[in-house]
Chains A and B, each alone.
Chain A
């Protein structure tokens, strides 16, 4: 990384001011916030849990602020504060881009206005209380009388009001003309205790050779948010760091710089740093064994966050933003699942991806021609390695004019795409937001004519910057005009005289890169902050939201491409809160090192915490030439990432898996096949995420929120609710590893069926991890559905049979889910899907186990699909009809107590094999007993029961 390209806190005036404010507060024992509520202005909205109040600052009695506090139906508290009738308007639209809708305010909760505060008590057990104190202004969320979240408890709230440069200058300290040198009398600056002696970087700021003209002057926002009873905080992606965020201030702070959120294209980023990266999700979880809470700070400008633990069981954070209003959501929890529900009700759940998008993606910068693409496909097929998607990076485009094929190398783009589609595969092609300024480029010409480009400071001229295409201009997603126009570009059929992408197919999907935006010759490799967007907002106001809008525009465009629509797939590099609704992200330009491999796992987990589950890192590392061992391990990481794509820089050697020697090639073939066999697990986890907001990857604190020993764990995790626990190996030469088991339960090795025993207090066990073996355990009590017939691509598996792995727990029981739909369209929203539950119960009478298939869809139709609450489920819907012949071909039971004497389904005797071994209820470790039931000939669509009598 070129650290000098990116600001530290001391190089950003507002961050410097924010941290100085915090330092003064620290040093001043009698520090008290100058902000207070004027009780006479409190106005409670009738019938709603919402009130407004006037807020005053001791520092500027003439400046007015307005506070708006609401409690939503689900108990989330929203605290908004803005300057009232100021000189200008603070940017107040960040939340409107992040939220799916304006949340419903609770009609039941009542505010009670007291002498010194306003309070509301709510919750099923009336255990939650919100207290808004008047003087100084302080907002506290309590549960069972314990403080969960406190805003402005440390008095760091500061909203810099708009002012003119002249009025500010008048107030500068003035030297008295007379008097001797030793007695220079300063005009008393009554605000210095709070704001500091000098106006630090109010009106102009330099960074490198760039000047930020700051025409609006100072407008930053500082707020302290404390979690007095929570010792761990997580979230605020994207940073290359641990999942449980290390401290940045206080004694023995782990980092010296605050966590920074300012979407940036960081070349060769560090594997352990608080530097900002490509995306920003300002959501933070605070966790303890007693409860989980979270906050979402809906701000779109650059934000720095300090984290400290005054004690091991408490956390203080300080958020410093460059512009915008205070708009903070307090999520009361009290479990991680509650918090995910609360957050995704605000910003949306992850979109249910197209099924194929969960398969393997093969990318490189660049496949250089149509024939190259065909040859890569041919070689995958020759090696019988599954792959679903081939990607084209920027070199497909003539002079980097996106959409425009370079016909010298891609003379037949549609035929090429059809050749890929013939095997059920897809193409993903890159489209970036910078448009080459060339008269010959219709996309740029149209954008210019329509006036939908970002403007340079002053707002009258189109901004010109430098990117891949050389001189470029940027589409302004904040301009509503740009959306329909962008949608029209993706039409594959001609649209009159308008330019459309006729040299494309409806199964061509899109990769949005460089949308931070990346500008090669701009400050911090991005746009000048004083650039102007639609509505006159400065780039600084919307910077972190910018990438999401471009992603969203492309998502909408793909959705509109066919009728009925297909599920779009759009990969983005830049993102914000809410981006999970539009597709997938990846962790950007990582390095081919073990450190980056390891931190990639953590970054993907952090993204899952941020509500954005569909995440992955470039397999192999973008830069460098990984040795075969590292490449194999990277595939092991990849097959257990929600988004699984191999990618490589243009300067690297080719490293498609078919190029490797044995044993590496064979290992990767098996790993790819393992991923494909588990697609039902991933798809089922994504259904759950899309409805409940629960992440696809679940770190220990999410899966076992009461087990303190797991709170800092971030190198092993669970896949959805499946019960699969994985610990990818990210080090050279490993042959075994230590896996943490959080509970008193049996865990089975997926491959060799070894049964490990956990303990109530948690326990570490040693699991073999030779190169070809990913440490993968099934928690006792789980039923895993897989499809084990290797195919060239996932759509070709559509009618393949299922295998069920029934991993009995100590009580002889197990449970699992399976969700299926056509994987392509939105017909699932009309009830075209299969959602089943497999249950194994211990049958005392038969001294055995009953394994049954039940219809969850019919039981809980309203909880099946995101966005629609189906009243009923038609068990004979056309998707079910299509799948009638799809059977369960094999049932494997782990941990059975003894050899069965009979296995039956519907009175039919079934063929089975039994290998004795350790049973589920024993305390002993060792290879477990395995019962394989051969072809019970049961449909995956219907209810059935298998009875195992022992």
Chain B
């Protein structure tokens, strides 16, 4: 038999007192039943709440208290009492029958205290780094605030500029608009614009196709590398082989067979082009700039060009070449007058009709000014947002302690892949033996749905990165980054407990609260 108070937690000791007389009943703690005092700790469960057996394993639903003198007392479930194992939580060995487990509290307590000291030291050092982060956030705050002031001033100036130019343009354009409209009626221009539209559409479609082809290629690459023969589907194998043939890749398993030789050189075919034809690269680069031409300006250029003498006529008509330099100004003055007359009579077309270059330049300037205004405004907005987020507990913490880590990339090489997370930005998987980088997700939130209060250390112990590249036959990739206090910002381990759902574990000083703030938590076991 064991003592009546064996296994009773200190807070409950007052309830385990022998009744005055032997026949007086003892009440189960929940009051549901009375039993004899002799039935307490007699290794038979009488009370529905298990309270009559604090010191044995007879009731499935009670807790056993080990005093652990020399260390810290702890509670274990009754299911571990008298099961033949010495619980690490009960260093005094009181969870088993006498003589089964040695009392190792002295040693355990010493080790524990040593660990506590080390932990505290680490926390203390870590919290200093954390304070640096906070200080840096303060500095950043000042910087941002001054940026905001500066930007606001700049915006005021730019707004003035824009207004001025707008006014100028409005006036000029009302004069030139009619003339320009007339020129745009030219069948050549109309036809040209149609070509442009068609080309734009073609480019749009082409880009769509390119994107689609790339997506398909990625899917097939992923399939090729990741397909699982368990699907036992020869169609998948066919698809892989087909893709390898089309993309001129070696067969993935042949590569694997060669053990260590790595992926063979991808054979790129030299396609044949007709002369003058654009290569795919040129198409990529040049088409955009072509389509971004200012057609109105070109139209005016065109006017100028048509107005100018053709090279053949210049041989005959351009007398300037034969005229001595000294006479040239006079000749020029003469021809100008002549041409003015001819133009007035409708015989010849001038080099520059109406005005347009000026207007278009003005418009260009106006657009530029407006663009810089908008850019500035956006920049301001971003800066303001950054400032708000900096002390938002759902972003960089109420003290801004996480701000320093924004965009800081931590990586871990696991052999086949290097995993990387750029904090508050994106997580990625990079194959070490070549192949495309997969996005594992963008920063979405801190510990969401974990029941942790916003701003609590538990809240900051997890980051979620979601909506990464979709898995073949699976979900979009995502990552949970689990963080603990540590002196370095680093990743310790990478796991994929469910397909395409990754778990990164790492440390950061940003989670190191000063030790005294944690004290209470740590003394419970």
Q: Which residues of A contact B (CB under 8 A)?
A: 2, 265, 267, 368-369, 371-372, 384, 399, 408-409, 422-424, 437-440, 466-468, 470-471, 518, 520-521, 525, 650-654, 673, 788-792, 796-800, 889-890, 934-935
Contacts and interface: CB of A to CB of B under 8 A. Distances in A.
Given A438-B257, A889-B44, 18 more contacts: A368-B496, A368-B497, A369-B495, A371-B493, A384-B77, A424-B85, A438-B259, A440-B259, A470-B253, A518-B232, A789-B58, A789-B60, A791-B79, A792-B79, A796-B84, A889-B58, A935-B42, A935-B44
A654 B416 CA distance: 24
Contacts of A408: 414-416
A26 to B, nearest CB: 38
A654 B498 contact: yes
Nearest to B60: A790
Contacts of B228: 650
A790 B79 contact: yes
B499 interface: yes
14 contacts: A267-B232, A371-B493, A384-B79, A408-B415, A422-B85, A423-B85, A470-B256, A525-B232, A653-B498, A654-B497, A654-B498, A792-B79, A797-B83, A800-B57
Interface in B79-99: 79-80, 82-85
Nearest to B84: A796
A799 B84 contact: yes
Interface string B410-434: 0000111000000000000000000
A935 B85 CA distance: 24
Interface in B408-467: 414-416
A372 B85 contact: no
A799 B83 CA distance: 8
A468 B230 contact: yes
Interface in B196-253: 228-234, 237, 253
Contacts of B414: 408
B265 interface: no
B269 interface: no
Contact of A789 (B79, B84, B237): B79
A771 to B, nearest CB: 21
Contact of A439 (B230, B259, B473, B498): B259
A673 B253 contact: no
A440 B256 CA distance: 12
Nearest to A386: B79
A934 B44 contact: yes
B329 interface: no
Given A651-B473, A653-B498, A791-B79, A520 B60 contact: no
Given A438-B257, A935-B42, A651 B79 contact: no
Interface in B51-104: 57-58, 60, 77, 79-80, 82-85
A295 B360 CA distance: 100
B474 interface: yes
B107 to A, nearest CB: 19
A798 B46 CA distance: 23
Contacts of A788: 60
A673 B80 CA distance: 14
A471 B259 contact: no
B412 to A, nearest CB: 11
A550 B41 CA distance: 53
Interface string B396-414: 0000000000000000001
B83 A791 contact: yes
A203 to B, nearest CB: 26
Contacts of A265: 232
Nearest to A367: B497
Contacts of A466: 229
B398 to A, nearest CB: 31
A74 to B, nearest CB: 44
Interface in B255-288: 256-257, 259
Contacts of A800: 57
Given A372-B497, A384-B77, A935-B42, A792 B60 contact: no
Given A408-B414, A791-B79, A650 B499 contact: yes
B214 to A, nearest CB: 26
Of the listed residues B43, B77, B79, B473, the one surrounded by the most CB atoms of chain A closer than 10 A to its CB is: B79
Nearest to B414: A408
B85 A796 contact: yes
Contact of A890 (B44, B230, B234, B415): B44
Contacts of B498: 652-654
* Shortest beta-carbon contacts, A-B, top 10: A796-B83, A935-B44, A408-B415, A520-B229, A790-B79, A790-B60, A470-B253, A520-B232, A384-B77, A267-B232
A438 B257 CA distance: 7
Contacts of B473: 651
Contacts of A792: 79-80, 83
A467 B229 contact: yes
Contacts of B416: 408
A518 B229 CA distance: 11
A805 B247 CA distance: 72
A200 B230 CA distance: 35
Contacts of B259: 438-440
A800 to B, nearest CB: 8
Interface string B483-505: 00000000001011111000000
A422 B414 CA distance: 29
Contacts of A2: 233
A797 B83 CA distance: 7
A789 B415 CA distance: 46
A731 B153 CA distance: 72
A66 B341 CA distance: 128
Contacts of B84: 796, 798-799
Contacts of B496: 368
A408 B237 CA distance: 28
Contacts of A791: 79, 83
A883 to B, nearest CB: 14
B364 to A, nearest CB: 57
A830 B415 CA distance: 52
Contact of B237 (A368, A521, A525): A521
A424 B60 CA distance: 19
Given A438-B259, A798-B84, A799-B84, A368 B495 contact: yes
A470 B255 CA distance: 12
A799 B43 CA distance: 13
A823 to B, nearest CB: 14
Contacts of B80: 792
A679 to B, nearest CB: 15
Contacts of A650: 228, 499
Contact of A521 (B42, B77, B234): B234
B253 A471 contact: yes
Given A384-B79, A471-B257, A372 B495 contact: yes
Of the listed residues A439, A790, A890, the one surrounded by the most CB atoms of chain B closer than 10 A to its CB is: A790
B45 to A, nearest CB: 9
A286 B167 CA distance: 103
Contacts of A368: 495-497
Interface in B120-156: none
Contacts of A439: 259
A646 to B, nearest CB: 16
B253 A789 contact: no
Contacts of A372: 495, 497
Nearest to A407: B415
Contacts of B46: 934
B60 A673 contact: yes
Contacts of A934: 44, 46
Nearest to B252: A470
Contacts of A409: 495
Nearest to A890: B44
Contacts of A399: 256
A930 to B, nearest CB: 15
Contacts of B79: 384, 789-792
A128 B42 CA distance: 61
Contacts of A673: 60
